[in-house]
């Protein structure tokens, strides 16, 4: 094997199709144990890492377990960076998130603004742990010449997402809530006002970008950090309306304003992404939602929830 994909059973990892790669489970490789990671790299002759693994969740999860999100993600990330440095795993790919960008803009957010301000207070534990991937990658390149590309995707979604009602992200949680509201003939209750805006990218689009970075990273000098987004925002209210329409829900939709909204908006610039992928067109949200809803309803007993 030459490419280690961490978090291979997760949303992004499960969609990656990279030649000579391996996707060990957490039982097979505990990323919190550096000795285990070191032995795995030596045993399987790993040359690159695609680091997808993370403790992730929505607004409630990040806020209620903010230290856990900081501590566990930071430990994993430092172990992966140290392994890349120790074994000179050149042109690895680290997955970050646009939620780590400064909460107060200015907008649109760019790669250069990453450390210009605090992330949103609801997820700063996770955000700072993820920011350290970028810092570590820069330091590693400057001191040792070992490069890792940090991609900063907006909210990604699709088949094999986590549909947990309390701790999941926006789209998978809304699909699950709508499914249950239809099944139980109840109101659809959505957290927050519905006014916050988010950017979304279909997971297969993101997987394609990662695969290209791995396949061509030795020949193309990709930037050290790159935001991946379709450069279009949707309100939570409009996303809810789309899901309600596509799932044919006829009941009441209630926005529970006693629950937190999270950051109100975080539009990004995808200028760097379009420079390196000028001819790539992201899947429209409507199509991605259709595919996600179909997968969820067909596989309901077995989906992550």
CATH top class, domain 170-195+234-265+285-302? alpha beta
From 44, 124, 126, 128, active-site residue: 126
pLDDT (0 to 100) of residue 105: 85
Q: pLDDT per residue over 98-133, tens digit each?
A: 999 999 989 999 999 999 999 998 889 999 999 999
Q: What angle do CA 256, 257, 263 make, to 5 degrees?
A: 115
Q: What is the pLDDT along the chain (305 residues), one digit of tens a residue?
A: 699 999 999 999 999 999 999 999 989 999 999 999 999 999 999 999 999 999 887 777 777 889 999 999 999 999 999 999 999 999 999 999 999 999 998 999 999 999 999 999 888 999 999 999 999 999 999 999 999 999 999 999 999 999 988 778 899 999 999 999 999 999 999 999 999 999 999 999 999 999 999 999 889 999 999 999 998 999 999 999 999 999 999 999 999 999 888 888 889 999 999 999 998 999 999 999 999 999 999 999 999 88
Whole-angstrom distance, CA of residue 288 vs CA of residue 305? 19
Whole-angstrom distance, CA of residue 8 vs CA of residue 16? 8
pLDDT (0 to 100) of residue 1: 67
Whole-angstrom distance, CA of residue 29 vs CA of residue 23? 9
Are 198 and 170 within 8 A, CB to CB? yes
Q: pLDDT per residue over 192-219, tens digit each?
A: 999 999 999 999 999 999 999 999 988 9
- Residue count (the chain): 305
Spatial CA neighbour of 242 closest among 280, 176, 184, 290: 290
Q: Is 188 helix (H, G, I), strand (E, B) or coil?
A: strand
Query: Locate tokens 């020949």: which residue?
Result: 219
Q: What angle do CA 205, 208, 211 make, to 5 degrees?
A: 155
Q: What are phi and psi of 101, to 5 degrees?
A: -75, 160
> 52 vs 28, 44, 49, 206, CA distance in Å?
16, 19, 9, 12
Give me the helices (H) in the chain, please: 34-44, 59-64, 66-87, 124-144, 170-184, 203-216, 236-247, 271-276, 285-298
pLDDT (0 to 100) of residue 213: 97
Q: Where are the domains of the chain?
A: 3-159+199-232+270-276, 170-195+234-265+285-302
- The DSSP bridge partners found for residue 254 are 189
Are 168 and 57 within 8 A, CB to CB? yes
Whole-angstrom distance, CA of residue 264 vs CA of residue 152? 19
Active site (annotated) includes residue 202: no
CATH of 3-159+199-232+270-276, one of 3.30.1360.70, 3.30.930.10, 3.40.50.2030, 3.40.50.720: 3.40.50.720
């Amino acid at each position: 094997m030459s490419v280690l994909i961490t978090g291979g059973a997760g949303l992004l990892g499960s969609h990656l199709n990279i030649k000579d790669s391996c996707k060990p489970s957490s039982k097979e490789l505990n990323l919190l144990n550096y000795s285990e990671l070191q032995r795995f790299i030596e045993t399987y002759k790993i040359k690159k890492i695609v680091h997808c693994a993370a403790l992730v969740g929505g607004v409630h999860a990040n806020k209620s377990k903010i230290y856990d999100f900081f501590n566990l993600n930071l430990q994993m990330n430092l172990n992966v960076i140290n392994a890349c440095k120790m074994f000179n795993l050149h042109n690895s790919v680290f997955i970050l998130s646009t939620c780590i960008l400064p909460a107060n803009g200015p907008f649109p957010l760019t790669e250069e603004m990453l450390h210009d301000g605090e992330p949103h207070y609801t997820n700063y534990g996770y955000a700072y742990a993820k920011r350290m991937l970028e810092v570590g990658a820069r330091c590693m390149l400057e001191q040792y010449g070992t490069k890792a590309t940090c991609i900063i995707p907006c909210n990604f979604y699709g088949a094999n997402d986590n549909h947990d009602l309390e701790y999941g992200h926006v789209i998978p949680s809304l699909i699950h809530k709508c499914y249950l509201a239809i099944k139980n003939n109840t109101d659809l209750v959505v957290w927050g006002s519905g006014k916050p805006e988010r950017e979304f990218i279909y997971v297969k689009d993101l997987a394609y970008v990662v695969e290209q970075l791995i396949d061509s990273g030795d020949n193309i000098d990709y930037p050290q950090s790159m935001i991946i987004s379709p450069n279009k925002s949707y309100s939570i209210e409009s996303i809810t309306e789309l899901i309600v329409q596509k799932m044919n829900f006829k009941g009441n939709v209630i926005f529970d304003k006693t629950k937190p909204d999270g950051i109100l908006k975080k539009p990004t610039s995808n200028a760097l992404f379009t420079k390196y992928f000028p001819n790539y067109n992201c899947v429209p949200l409507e199509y991605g939602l259709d595919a996600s809803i179909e997968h969820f309803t067909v596989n309901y007993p077995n989906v992550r929830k």
